[in-house]
Structure 1
Amino acid sequence: MQHNDALQIIRPDDWHLHVRSGEMLKSVIGMTAAQMGRAIIMPNLSPPVSNAAQAKQYHQEIMNALPADTRFTPLMVLYLTDNTTPKQIQTAFDGGLVVAAKLYPAGATTNSDSGVTDINNIYPSLEKMQQLGVPLLVHGEVTDAKVDIFDREAVFIEQILSKVIEDLPDLKIVFEHITTKAAVDFVLSSGNNIAATITPHHLLANRNDMLVGGIKPHYFCLPILKRRDPHQLALLKAATSGNAKFFLGTDSAPHAKEHKESDCGCAGILNAHCAIELYATVFDSQNAMDKLEGFASFFGADFYNLPRNTDTIVLKKQDWVVPSSYAFADSTIVPFMAGKILNWKMA
């Protein structure tokens, strides 16, 4: 249902989310639970969630932290290490809580030091995942110090992802938080078992937002923001195209204000506070509000072979100001678009 000033859609899901643990988890989980039916929970805690028992424990911690009146479902993910075995994959998947496994190239992002040092080390586990139909979620960047940070996604496609798809043609893969035209083109040219998530910050911002007029650490994320043309424009076109290969994944990744505004600031942007409003802003800007429901509520569930949500949310066209900060454990956090006016609000 769409009027010019309101849009009703099936409740969306977030197919890529960081919620941390402990008091930090309690500070942010309600933001997602208020908007999303489900979310794929990233396993890069310290230590990482790398087996079924840890996934069960983390799932319980999230359930305990949820506000009382929510019906939110966390979907758990296994963190792949050089030592992950096919048996661990089978056990985790049999348990029913784990729906995917995540490849972090070692050192690629926050808490990824235990990640995979060589893709060949996990081939037996990837073969098991292909057999079971378990999606591989990929942080698609190489970590070779010789590769420029703006080129790491394109080089990953060329050196690693192409080979994996050639060797394991039926493996389901979600190319997470894509940021380049190369990634869009790659996903479009691949089979139906290859999909991608796109974040609101990569749709709404580019590297000028982070670097022009002074460095803005709250725009610093990995993969790093790219240039507007051709990369941001390619993402906008893909997200709003109605192509089922592209779906919502916020990569909301909270860090305390002092850890962002420091001499070595953390990578990660909090956008869960108004994720669906941010996406609505994007789709409205591209005259594609009729495509938002597919991107936000249908395509991800379909790719994961999960039922679509049945309840709905309503977005209203109204101006509101994004808060300049939120409480975050014993500190504060500066959200994406802090202090700016958005034109859509979830009712």
Structure 2
Amino acid sequence: KLYPAGATTNSASGVTDPGKITHLYEAMEKHDVPLLVHGEVTDAEIDIFDREKVFIDRYLNTIRSQFPALRIVFEHVTTSEGVNFVREANALTAATVTPQHLLMNRNDLLVGGVRPHNYCLPILKRRQHQDAIQKAVIDGHSRFFLGTDSAPHARNKKEAACGCAGCYSARAALPLYATFLEQHNALDKLEGFASHFGADFYRLPRHTDTVTLQRKPWEVPTIIDAAGEPVVPFFAGEQLPWSLG
């Protein structure tokens, strides 16, 4: 996975210039190793809401064109530019979609007070970007698939003057995706999004094990104990119409 230096938690020793490691992309293409990308620049002069677009313009378009046989996954895509990049690129280009970027935009982070448990990196964007992500999922586009980017941080590290980035969505992820797709009359797209498209892109056999989702109301816990540390999950205290059986 390509982590630009400073783009996310524990990435201080990441890549400082993705344009200077073309020899690695060449080797990955040769040996069919997928390149998973956290697609943001981290220059101090670039607005945090523009990081993804600038990364595409500065690096990703070039990587895609120079290495056409390299499989690329745009991890946790957050912008319409990112969605359009994947839609317009060749069939060896895909993206993962998190619950938070599918269900929320930056109003959910900033309106009515700062909501630290909705703070993640890449940061939530404008509604227009959320709309583009939602359309790709509702369409059942086979190169957009589930990737939670779930990140459990103790409550005191989220509710802090300098809080950690990350949403702990793992426990509620499938009910959240199911709820969204049902609301948009696209529940039939869930299995492909959650179980088939990713495996197909990675050229792995589709899993034969199953999980059961039932249309039974479930309230997301307000607190989860993680080895003695309280963690506030994504959508804490909210009632969802779907639950894991």
AA aligned to 2:197 is F
Which residue is 1:340 aligned to? 238
Which residue is 2:139 aligned to? 241
Which residue is 2:165 aligned to? 267
AA aligned to 2:40 is E
Is this contact kept in 2: 1:179–1:223, CA < 8 A? yes
Q: Does 1:209 align with 2:92?
A: no
Task: Give the whole-Å Cα distance in 1 for the aligned partners of 2:92 and 2:98.
Answer: 20
Task: Give the whole-Å Cα distance in 2 for the aligned partners of 1:122 and 1:154.
Answer: 20
Task: Give the whole-Å Cα distance in 2 for the aligned partners of 1:121 and 1:148.
Answer: 23
Task: Give the whole-Å Cα distance in 1 for the aligned partners of 2:73 and 2:133.
Answer: 15
Which residue is 2:86 aligned to? 187
List per-residue Cα deviations over 1:153-190 (Å, max 9, x = no partner): 01111001011112111110000000111111110000
AA aligned to 1:331 is E
Q: Does 1:324 align with 2:222?
A: yes
Unaligned ranges ≥5, structure 2: none
Is this contact kept in 1: 2:19–2:59, CA < 8 A? no
Which residue is 1:162 aligned to? 61
Which residue is 1:124 aligned to? 23
Which residue is 2:118 aligned to? 219
List per-residue Cα deviations over 1:132-152 (Å, max 9, x = no partner): 111000000000111111111
Q: Which of 10, 19, 43 pairs up with 1:144?
A: 43
Matches within 5 A, 1:1-347: 102-228=1-127, 230-347=128-245
Task: Give the whole-Å Cα distance in 2 for the aligned partners of 1:322 and 1:128.
Answer: 44
Is this contact kept in 2: 1:254–1:333, CA < 8 A? yes
List per-residue Cα deviations over 1:179-232 (Å, max 9, x = no partner): 11111111000000100000011111111111111111000000101111x111
List per-residue Cα deviations over 1:75-95 (Å, max 9, x = no partner): xxxxxxxxxxxxxxxxxxxxx
Aligned-residue offset at 1:319: 1.3
Runs of 4+ in 1 over 6 A off after TM superposition: none
Aligned-residue offset at 1:346: 1.4
Aligned-residue offset at 1:324: 0.2
Aligned-residue offset at 1:296: 0.5
Q: TM-score with structure 1 length normalisation?
A: 0.69
Which residue is 1:85 aligned to? none
Q: TM-score with structure 2 length normalisation?
A: 0.98
Aligned-residue offset at 1:242: 1.4
Is this contact kept in 2: 1:283–1:289, CA < 8 A? yes
Is this contact kept in 2: 1:240–1:292, CA < 8 A? no
Is this contact kept in 1: 2:76–2:97, CA < 8 A? yes
Number of residue pairs aligned between Structure 1 and Structure 2? 245
AA aligned to 1:221 is C
Q: Could you say what the CA RMSD is over the residues aligned between the two structures, in angstroms? A: 0.9
Aligned-residue offset at 1:114: 1.1
Task: Give the whole-Å Cα distance in 2 for the aligned partners of 1:104 and 1:137.
Answer: 9
Task: Give the whole-Å Cα distance in 1 for the aligned partners of 2:226 and 2:212.
Answer: 27
